[in-house]
Amino acid sequence: MSILIKGGTVIGPTGAQPADVLVDGETIVAIFAPGKGPEGPGPEVIDATGKYVIPGAVDAHTHMELPFGGTHASDTFDTGTRAAAIGGTTTIIDFAVQRTGEVVQDGLAAWHGKAGGNCHIDYAFHMILGGVDDDALKAMDQLVASEGITSFKLFMAYPGVFYSDDGQILRAMQKARENGAMIMMHAENGPAIDVLVKQALERGETDPIYHGLTRPQELEAEATSRAIWLASVAADCPLYIVHLSASKALEQVKAARDLGRNVFAETCPQYLYLTLEDQLGAPGFEGAKWVCSTPLRSKHESHRADLWQGLRTNDLSVVSTDHCPFCMKDQKELGLGDFSKIPNGIGSVEHRVDLLYQGVVDGKLSLARWVETIATTPARMFGLYPKKGIIAPGSDADIVLYDPNGRTRISVETHHMNMDHSAWEGWEIAGKVDTVMSRGEVIASGGEYTGRKGRGKYVPRALSEYLV
Ligand SMILES: [Zn+2]
Ligand SMILES: [Zn+2]
């Protein structure tokens, strides 16, 4: 069946252009000057007048069902990908987990087991290595060669859970340099943070805000810098810093990029908008909703302005959500009386497209840059391009019609994520996702979901196409 999306303005990384888009089956087959597409009986027509026509967004950082802190992230692949779809995201890259002592391939098989048959949109995986040894290094080759997994996340934080020491990190980077993979880094100095956490708890500082105060930006900047230099020793192994939140960490990335290094970073909507004082410091235990790592930063420093600027200058290349939702009841509440026991994570997979469009309205991002940071660059960065991330002949027909005149009000009453609260409760922002198409099928329209569980497919990834 063919569909003609008519009368809209197509937005891509090079700008905006009025054009009609012809879809045949699961694929975009042609782009026409307005009104120049096939006439008469033929394709079904979707009227996109007054709408932006953008590539389905790619969220390169989600954690569906992640086991963490004695519980699991509250969205399953079913609930999480459905919410993502309604919000205009048509591909996620989730993190399969190898826990310390586990066989890498077993961790991957477990993730295929969770996701298979449950996703509403297409999905891919990164692999978390919970410890680097000879077996894990061999597994990296196998995953790159045969499993479509070309990026590996390591942790400089969470000693005893996911932590890798510098020697392990260097070995994984050397391996990645050989096989072409990307190393993704959770860059916070975990052992130093653990000292500060212990000292805070000994002083009786137990409220959620101390989660942020015991993870100062210096320890994010130091780890970011260390990761960058370790990657340099590994012959410029491609390095991607996840969830960058702090100005001083951004400075490290910027300096490396100015040297022409293959160093990249993402940030997340929470760091662009929310703060240590206003959210994490909310009265009582309320701040637990915003406990995530890296933490929200102080509004009295220039983090948010610096991150927006980093997005403009491409020192920050991608905006992902780090979607890792936990309910307050029975989950976040595990940390009542001890902030260090609050499960870390915020759920935003449904809202990223809208939250970043607000940046366009506020004059902080161009339309082209909006699409680039939420769709095109993540697809290029992680080997999904040009199948995903662009409106072009031959690409998957993952398309969002976006209404720039609509408004989105965010609330736990109306969101589709499996959470008993929203980190964005009451926010009313410009723009609205109107229609979402995934591989040629309309799966959401006017806020109504029309897709189905299990239609999403696993997408094996190629190597990054974003290296310098
Ligand atoms: Zn992380
Ligand atoms: Zn994460």
Please report which ligand is nearest the Cα atom of 321: 2
Cβ count near 75 (within 10 Å)? 28
Question: Distance, CA 345 to ligand 2 centroid (Å)?
Answer: 8
User: Could you give the dihedral angle defined by the CA atoms of residues 268, 293, 209 and 226, in that order, rounded to the nearest 10 degrees?
Assistant: -110
Please report which ligand is nearest the Cα atom of 63: 2
Q: Is the pLDDT of residue 78 over 90?
A: yes
Question: Distance, CA 64 to ligand 2 centroid (Å)?
Answer: 10
Q: Six-digit token pair at 2?
A: 């063919």
DSSP code string of 391-409: --TTSB--EEEEEEEEEEE
Please report which ligand is nearest the Cα atom of 245: 1
Structure confidence at residue 160 (pLDDT): 85
Question: Distance, CA 50 to ligand 2 centroid (Å)?
Answer: 36
Sign for the pseudo-dihedral over CA of 354, 360, 364, 369: positive
Structure confidence at residue 142 (pLDDT): 98
Radius of gyration of the chain (CA): 21
Question: Distance, CA 266 to ligand 2 centroid (Å)?
Answer: 11
Question: Distance, CA 63 to ligand 2 centroid (Å)?
Answer: 6
Question: Distance, CA 48 to ligand 2 centroid (Å)?
Answer: 35
Q: pLDDT tens digit string along 206-232?
A: 999 999 999 999 999 999 999 999 999
Question: Distance, CA 105 to ligand 1 centroid (Å)?
Answer: 21
Question: Distance, CA 36 to ligand 1 centroid (Å)?
Answer: 48
Question: Distance, CA 154 to ligand 1 centroid (Å)?
Answer: 9
Question: Among candidates 123, 124, 122, 121, which has minimal Cα distance to 449?
Answer: 121
Residues 171-192, mean pLDDT to the nearest whole number: 98
DSSP code string of 100-147: TTS-HHHHHHHHHHHHTTT-SSEEEEEEEESS--HHHHHHHHHIIIII
First to last CA, the chain: 40
Nearest-angstrom CA–CA distance, 215 and 210: 8
Q: Six-digit token pair at 96?
A: 């399969």
Q: Sorting pLDDT into bands at 50, 70 and 90, what band is 69?
A: confident
Q: Give Cα separations from 275 to 207, 246, 271, 305, 361 (angstroms).
A: 16, 11, 7, 12, 21
Q: pLDDT tens digit string along 297-336?
A: 999 999 999 999 999 999 999 999 999 999 999 999 999 9
Structure confidence at residue 101 (pLDDT): 86
Taking a C-beta distance cutoff of 8 angstroms, is the pair 91, 388 a contact? Answer: yes
Give 229's contacts (C-beta < 8 A, 6+ positions apart).
Answer: none
Taking a C-beta distance cutoff of 8 angstroms, is the pair 233, 317 a contact? Answer: no
Phi, psi of 271 (to 5 degrees): -80, -20
Q: Sorting pLDDT into bands at 50, 70 and 90, what band is 370?
A: very high
User: Lowest mean pLDDT: which of 35-44, 152-161, 309-318, 349-358?
Assistant: 35-44
Question: Distance, CA 448 to ligand 1 centroid (Å)?
Answer: 32
Q: Is the pLDDT of residue 40 over 80?
A: no
Question: Distance, CA 243 to ligand 1 centroid (Å)?
Answer: 7
Question: Distance, CA 193 to ligand 2 centroid (Å)?
Answer: 18
Q: Six-digit token pair at 29?
A: 């087959």
Question: Distance, CA 153 to ligand 1 centroid (Å)?
Answer: 8
